[in-house]
Amino acid sequence: MTTAGLPGTTPTHPPATAPPPVLLDWHDGWHFTGGGRCVLCNRHTVLRSHAGEDVHKVCAERWVQRNPGKDRFVSDLPRGRRRAGA
């Protein structure tokens, strides 16, 4: 039995959900040419962003989620479809 809309009751709202995680697509091998310290967590990483910053992909994804609308870290361009017989 629901009490929504009855006098003296408080409407219930579904719990707020977190935004979906941002998953960067870094399929290009160039991203694996790092070898320094992550600019965000300062631990060793072999990954590199498009801008050449040494950064873990997970750290970059968290940064993107926490800074919506900013484009410091971006995904690779989508791969084109291969033609049949090519």
3-state secondary structure of 37: strand
Task: Compute the average pLDDT of residues 19-43.
Answer: 89
pLDDT tens digits for range 33-80: 878 999 999 999 999 999 999 999 999 999 999 998 899 999 998 876
Looking at residue 14, what is its pLDDT?
63
Closest-CA residue to 53 (of 69, 42, 67)? 42
The residue length of the chain stands at 86
Looking at residue 49, what is its pLDDT?
94
| pTM exceeding the 0.75 threshold for the entire prediction | no
Looking at residue 52, what is its pLDDT?
92
85 phi, psi to nearest 5 deg: 85, 0
CA distance 25 to 2: 45
Closest-CA residue to 38 (of 67, 6, 60)? 60
Looking at residue 19, what is its pLDDT?
66
